[in-house]
Each structure stands twice: as C-alpha cells, then as structure tokens.
Amino acid sequence: MNFLARFETERPGSGQRRSSGKHPFKSAVAGLAGLALAGLWPGLAQATEIQEITTDAGITAWLVEDHTVPLIAVEFAFKGGSSQNPDGKEGLSNLLSATLDEGAGDLNARAFQGRLEDLVMRLSFEDGRDDFYGSMRTISLNADDAFEMLRLAVSEPRFDTEAVERMKTQLIANIRREKNDPDAIAGRVWSQTVYPDHPYGKPSDGTEETVAKLTPEDLRALQQRMFARDNLKIAVVGAIDAETLKPLLDHVFASLPEKADLKEIPDVQPKTGMTETVELNVPQTSIRVGLPGLKRSDPDFIPAFIMNHILGGGTFSSWLYDEVREKRGLAYSVGSYLISRDHSGMLMAATGTRAEKAAETLSIIEEQFRRMADEGPTPDELQKAKDYLTGSYALRFDSSSKIANQLVGIQIEDLGIDYIKNRNQMIEEVTLDQVKAVARRLLAGKTPTIITVGPNGA
C-alpha cells in the first residue's frame, strides 16, 4: 500500500500483479528503489561476479552464475513504458503488460496459462513511466521450455479479442476500485498538477474511458514500436552458464527489430507553488508535498540521495520520522522520496494524518524542508547516513531475484558494470558542504506543490 512499498525488497508476486493496481505513487517509489544503490561489503564482490556476455546474434546481457539453488532468474527491460502511450490511449502499456501472457504463438490464453503452470514457471510484465519490464523465473531443468514460453510472449503475442477484452475489464475494475482511494487520488492529482502538459502527468493506468477504447491493434503497434534490440537490457542470475544461456537469449530476442521506434519525451520541471485540495469523506487526510528533484545523471544526485535519507528516507530515523511520528504521534507513515525519471526529477514528502491535524503536520514538513535548506545536517548525521547507505547495500544482493533486479536497474541507468564496486566510495567521498549545497539548491526559496485529500478540504 502506497509508500510502504519502499520497505518491500521484492516485486509483488505474479499472483498479485493484476489485482493490485499499480498506482502512480507506488510505481515512482519502486523506481527509486532500483536506484537506491549504495556500497558493498567485502565478500559481496564474488557473490555477484558479473559476466558481460554477447551472443552470436549480438545481444548483450549481464550474468551472475550461481548453482546453489536450482533456479534461474531473468529480468529485462525495454526503454519505453507508459510515457510512450499515444494521446488518448492512456493505459495501453499497462494493458500490454497484462496481455502478453494471455496467448501467444499456437497457444490460446488458456493453453498458454496452463503451460506456464505445467512448467511451474513464473512470467510477468510491468510498465514503468520510462521502461517496460519483463521477469521470468524457472527451475533450471525446465530452462529450455521456459525460454521458449518467454520467446512466444515477447515476439508472438496473439492479442486475441477475448483475452484483450477480459484484461480490459480487469484493469477497469482496478481503476474503479482506486477511484476513491485517498492515496491513489493523491498520486493522480500530483501527476496532473505538476506535469500538466507532459506524458508524466497522464494517468499511467489510464481511465475507464481510455482503457475501454483500446484495441488489439493498439497493443500490436506499441509492442512493435517498443520491443527492439537497441533499447533492451537483460540480467540473468542463477543456475546457468554463459554458453548455455547465449543461444537461449538469441532464441528469445534475436528476431526482434534492430531499433525501437519511440516518440521523443521532452525534459520537464515539475510545477512548484501549486495547491490542490480534494474533498473525500475519510478520517485520515493524505498529504503530498513536493518540489523539483534531480535526474539520475545529475552530478549532484548522490549528495541529494544522502540529503534525502537524512530528511525523510530513513526507516526509523529521519527528521520527518522523528518530528511527525516519534515526537508527536501525528502519523503512521511519513517519509520523503527522491524520484528520478529519465526526463524529470522530484523530491516529495508523503504522509497521512487525522483530518484535524493536517494543517499542523503540513507545517512541520515545510519547517523541516526549511531547516534542511538553512542549516543542513550535522557532520554526525552525515556520517550516520553514509554508514547506513554503504552498509545496507548487500541486503539487495542476497537472492538471485534481487541481484537480477539490481543488475537491470544499473543497466537502465547506464551506471556501468563497475558500479557495484565503486558505489560505496562515491558515497564516502560526499562532503558536508556538498550535501548542504544540494539542500539549498533543491529546497531554498522554493514554494512546494501541496496536495491534500481528505474531509472538508482539510
């Protein structure tokens, strides 16, 4: 549920995928998790020795071979995602993620789903704002059959009318269910408000009206534009060696078009100083307070990442946690998030409090923003943040699934294959002056955009 997702270290299981509507706020934070890469412990290096492999057909992938558990985890991503949805066809990439495994090749939906179960494999797809993700898990002895199923889903989806209509119905039910959910409303209104004329402002799951109009032809067109070899990143982790893997990757991906045909997305700054209040008769008001953040490629990104950790990123230790929850008991969940997309960045605080305390809570959040801009953290706070961020990195590498997720994230952000080795050092080198400077850059003299959803406009 909403920003609590940041504490979850793994993606939801495939069984939950379609029932839990991916609302914008959650997706944004999940995107951040992929970037929350810090340092490395000794010993982790060999646990995650990455081979960069190139197949005969010229597909590259990162592989970590580990035979401890007889499983193979495959993660991949195509640049694209919901920002590629044509105007008026919002929700298309989400529908694509739901229909790729609903029939492919000679197998109709029922046959395809039955075959997935018979192979005890797991296959799922998910769209982000900037990327379209695929995920497969198989026991190693079924690898050949599992990769064939993956090939069918990626390159020969059927988009039969029956399956497409069924998935549309399901996605529309999700949209309806979230229509009056305070956190979901806050996420939607936030996007519309700060990105009014940009694909990032559109509802990524679409609306009832836009989803209802989507067709198999729309799906095929997006699939053909987005699934290509030049915008593809792949990570494989588990019980498979490079020579076995290469022909399997060629089998799945070599027949895709050489180049994707993506529409250009302009860079955009989120609007500041906006205030939107949505009236909803619930006992707890959802609050979002946000400002422009940084793209991942910004040279100030790592200092900003540390700054955000101190401000509101830490689980049970951050300024917002202390001031809002620990000292005053105003909220159960409170935190701040540095959300970096390909074409924009945001720094956002989020919480929920009883309606009569909404104004007080909001003013405390703004006060902590000002305190960070004016005073910044102490040397001790900086050191503690570094200790946490460098020390916690290994927790992201203790399962094949997690490693595969990390490796795709690093490739998507173009951080380089040595990133895992160098990340700690980059954090250690950040100075107090750099953190204070980026705090001023992001927070000083800025009027945040504020969204509240609750009773009586509170």
Residues 211-270 that bind other proteins (CB under 8 A): none
160 binds other proteins (CB under 8 A): no
Distance CA 205, CA 170 (A): 12
With CB under 8 A as the contact rule, which of the stretches 24-32, 140-148, 213-221, 442-450 interacts with other proteins? Answer: 140-148
Distance CA 190, CA 39 (A): 32
Number of residues that bind other proteins (CB under 8 A): 96
Query: Which two three-digit tokens encode residue 184?
Result: 């979901």
| Nearest alpha carbon to residue 427 among 360, 394, 382 | 382
273 binds other proteins (CB under 8 A): no
Distance CA 89, CA 256 (A): 24
Beta carbons of 290 and 348 less than 8 angstroms apart: yes
Residue 318: which residues within 8 A CB-CB, separation 6 or more?
A: 309, 310, 311, 312, 335, 336
Q: Is 106 helix (H, G, I), strand (E, B) or coil?
A: coil
75 binds other proteins (CB under 8 A): no
Site for other proteins, residues 305 to 324, rule: CB under 8 A: 314-317
Other CB atoms within a 10 A radius of the CB of residue 14 amount to 17
For other proteins, the closer of residues 59 and 408 by Cβ is 408
389 binds other proteins (CB under 8 A): yes
For other proteins, the closer of residues 47 and 254 by Cβ is 47
**Which pairing describes strands 275-279 and 449-454: parallel, antiparallel, or unpaired?**
parallel
Please pick, from the candidates 388, 427, 439, 443, the single residue that binds other proteins as defined by CB under 8 A: 388
Question: Least distance in Å: CB of 368 to other proteins?
Answer: 17
Site for other proteins, residues 427 to 456, rule: CB under 8 A: 453
Please pick, from the candidates 57, 242, 262, 280, the single residue that binds other proteins as defined by CB under 8 A: 280
For other proteins, the closer of residues 96 and 453 by Cβ is 453
Question: Least distance in Å: CB of 16 to other proteins?
Answer: 5
Question: Least distance in Å: CB of 139 to other proteins?
Answer: 6
Residue 22: which residues within 8 A CB-CB, separation 6 or more?
A: 94, 126, 127, 204, 205
Q: What is the CA radius of gyration of the chain?
A: 22
For other proteins, the closer of residues 123 and 268 by Cβ is 123
SS (H, E, C) 291-338: EECCCCCCCCHHHHHHHHHHHHHCCCCCHHHHHHHHCCCCCCCEEEEE
Please pick, from the candidates 18, 220, 421, 441, the single residue that binds other proteins as defined by CB under 8 A: 18
Site for other proteins, residues 328 to 387, rule: CB under 8 A: 328-333, 352-354, 384, 387
Other CB atoms within a 10 A radius of the CB of residue 431 amount to 11
Distant-in-sequence contacts of 302-305, Cβ < 8 A, 24+ apart: 302/426, 302/427, 302/430, 303/430, 303/434, 303/435, 303/437, 303/438, 304/338, 304/347, 304/438, 304/442, 305/35, 305/36, 305/338, 305/389
For other proteins, the closer of residues 395 and 444 by Cβ is 395
For other proteins, the closer of residues 60 and 142 by Cβ is 142
422 binds other proteins (CB under 8 A): no
164 binds other proteins (CB under 8 A): no
Query: Which two three-digit tokens encode residue 81?
Result: 């995602």
Please pick, from the candidates 336, 400, 411, 449, the single residue that binds other proteins as defined by CB under 8 A: 400
Phi, psi of 260 (to 5 degrees): -75, 155
With CB under 8 A as the contact rule, which of the stretches 82-90, 175-183, 263-271, 338-346 interacts with other proteins? Answer: 175-183
| Nearest alpha carbon to residue 340 among 287, 279, 294 | 294
Site for other proteins, residues 39 to 68, rule: CB under 8 A: 41-44, 47, 66, 68
Question: Least distance in Å: CB of 158 to other proteins?
Answer: 15
Beta carbons of 396 and 46 less than 8 angstroms apart: no
Query: Which two three-digit tokens encode residue 367?
Result: 């006060």
Question: Least distance in Å: CB of 5 to other proteins?
Answer: 9
Query: Which two three-digit tokens encode residue 444?
Result: 């000083």
Please pick, from the candidates 173, 254, 274, 437, the single residue that binds other proteins as defined by CB under 8 A: 173
Please pick, from the candidates 32, 74, 109, 307, the single residue that binds other proteins as defined by CB under 8 A: 109
For other proteins, the closer of residues 202 and 341 by Cβ is 202
For other proteins, the closer of residues 18 and 295 by Cβ is 18
Please pick, from the candidates 49, 58, 69, 417, the single residue that binds other proteins as defined by CB under 8 A: 69
